[in-house]
Structure 1
Amino acid sequence: MKVVVDHLYINGIPLLHLYKEGNERIKLPFVIFVHGFTSAKEHNLHYAYLLAKKGFRVALPEAKYHGERGFLSTENELMLKFWDIVIQMIQDLNEIKAYFEKKEWILNQQIGVAGTSMGGMITLGALTQYSWIKAAVCLMGSPYYQAFARQQIKMLKQEGVEISLSDEELNEQIDKLYDYDLSLHKEALANRPILFWHGKKDTVVPYDPTYQFYEDIKPLYQHNQDDLQFFSDENAGHKVSRQGVLWTVEWFEKHLQQNNRNEIKSSL
C-alpha cells in the first residue's frame, strides 16, 4: 500500500494532497491539517500519512508568510503579522474546501480540520465561521483570540520590539478578532465533535486557559459527552506526543468515517 503526495496550488495557496494509491478520484472523508507558527506544511506529513493510510483524503496547506509563501526574515517580523496569518488561513480553508468539493473528492461532506499550535488556533477560529466543519482537533492551541493577542503585545513590548501602531490602533486590531474568538462564541460549536490535546508544561501556548475553556463548554455537550475530549500530557511542553498524533487519527476515524463505512468500502 502506497500513499501518494501531490503538490497543488489552489488560488495561490500551496498545499500537499495525500491519499492512498488508487483513491485519487474516489470520494473520501477529508481532513485539512494546518501547521504551526514558523513551521511549514511538510512538517506535518506524519499526521497526513497516518490519516491517508486509514482512507482519508488530506490537505496540508501553507500559511501566509511561511514555507513557500514566506519572505519575512525574522520571528519578530512574523509575530507582528501573526493575526494576519491566522485570519488569512481561516479564509484559505474555505478556498481549499471549495476546490476539493468542485472536484467531487469529498464523501458526504465529511470534513475535519485540525492543527498544531497556531494551526490549532486557526482550527478553533474556523469553527466560528464554517458550519461545514464536521469534526475538529486542536493540538496545543487556544480559543482566546483577543486575550492571547493582548498577551502577545505585552510580551513584544517587554522584549523591546518596536510596534509601529499606537495603543488605540492596537485595540482596533484586537477588536477585529472578536468574530473569530471561539471563547466569545461558544454557541458556534453547535455540538460538533472536538478533541483537545495539550502538554501541561507548555510555555508557548499556556495549558490552563485552554483547559478552562474545555471545562466551560462541557455543559454544551452534556447530551453527547463522547463528542468532547481533552487529553492532557503531564510531561509534555510545546510538542505533540506520539500518542497525541494517534489520538488525532482515531478521532477522525470515529467522527468522519464511522457513519460512512459502507459507502467508503463500496467506492474502493
Structure 2
Amino acid sequence: MILVDKSTIQTIPFLHLVKEEDVNKQVPICFFIHGFTSAKEHNLHYAYYLAEKGFRVILPDCLEHGERSTGKSEHQLGQVFWKIVLNTIHELSIIKGHFEEKGLLIDNGVGVAGTSMGGIVTLGALTQYKWISSAVSLMGNPTYVKFAQAQLAQVESLGYELPFSEEEIEQMLSELAHYDLSLQPEKLSGRPLMFWHGKRDKVVPFNLTHEFYQSILPYYESQEDNLLFVEDDKADHKVTREGVLKLVEWFEKHLSA
C-alpha cells in the first residue's frame, strides 16, 4: 500500500508518498517540484508511480502556490517568478535536511525533478547542491539569464511597462547568473540528467534547452548513459504519458539503492 502523508517543515507544506513497508526505511528519495500556478496535489500521478517502484517522494508547495497562495493573480505571480524559483531552490535544502536528521537518506540516493517552473528549479539546484544524485527536467530551462531577458522582452512587446527599474533588472540578472547552469556546466560533474521537452512548447522555449543539452555533450563523453534528451515533436507545454514513464524509468535506472 502507498501511504500519502501531509506535513509541514517550517512554513513549507508537502505531501510524502512511500510504500507502507518502507516508511521508516532508508530508500532513495525524490523531490518533485510543481509548475507555475500549479500545486503539489497536481503531480500526485508522478509520485504514485515513483512510490510504487520503491522511492520516497516529496511534493512541496512553492511560495505563493497551493496552500501558500496569497491570492495573487497570474500576472502578479509572474512579477515574482524568479523570487519563487530561487526560494524553492533554498527550501530544497531545508526539506532534505529534515529527512537527513531522521536518518532516512542513503548515499547517492537523492533525486530532484519538476515540470516547467519545477524543471527550472531542478536545473538551478544542480548548481548549488552536490548531494543531488540524479535529476529530471520536464519542460525546464537552465539558461536563467537568457530566459529572464526573453521574458522581459516579451512583456515589453505586449505593450506592458516593466515593473522594475534598469538597476533592479541588472541586479536580478546578476543574481540569476549564480544559478544559471549554462554558465557553469562543469558543476554537473557527470551526474545523471534527463530532459523531456515538447517541440511545440510556447511557454518555455524548446530551443534554449536543446542547445544547452548539445553544449554539455562533451562533459558526458565517457558516460553517455548519464545524459538523455527526450523530445516530442507533437507536444506543447504539457507532459505526455510517455514523458511521465520516462522519468520513472530514469530514476529506476539511476537512483536505485
Query: What is the aligned residue count?
Result: 257
Shift of 1:109: 4.3
Aligned twin of 1:265: none
Which residue of structure 2 lines up, in the alignment, with residue 111 of structure 1?
A: 110
Other-structure match for 1:145: 144
- State the partner residue of 1:187: 186
Q: Distance in 1 between matches of 2:194 and 2:222?
A: 16
What CA distance in whole angstroms lies between the structure 2 residues aligned with 1:236 and 1:194? 21
Query: Offset of 1:163 from its aligned partner?
Result: 3.2
Gaps of 5+ in 1: 261-268
Query: Is the CA contact 1:16–1:60 (under 8 Å) kept in the aligned structure 2?
Result: yes
- The corresponding residue for 1:125 is 124
The Cα of 1:162 is off from its aligned counterpart by: 4.2
User: C-alpha offsets along residues 160-214 of structure 1, whole Å, 9 cap, x if unaligned?
Assistant: 4443321222111111111100000100100000000000010001111111111
**For residues 132 and 187 of structure 1, what CA distance do their matches in structure 2 show?**
15
Q: How does 1:1-268 map to 2 (within 5 A)?
A: 2-257=1-256, 260=257
Instruction: Give the CA deviation at 1:252.
Output: 0.5
Say whether the 8 Å CA contact 1:115–1:122 is kept in structure 2.
yes
Give aligned-pair identity as a percent: 51
Q: Secondary structure at the match of 1:180?
A: coil
Root-mean-square deviation (CA, aligned residues, Å) is: 1.0
Residue 159 of structure 1 deviates from its aligned partner by 2.9
Give, in whole Å, the separation in 2 of the partners of 1:64 and 1:135.
24
Q: Distance in 2 between matches of 1:218 and 1:63?
A: 31
Measured in 2, the distance between the counterparts of 1:185 and 1:19 equals 34
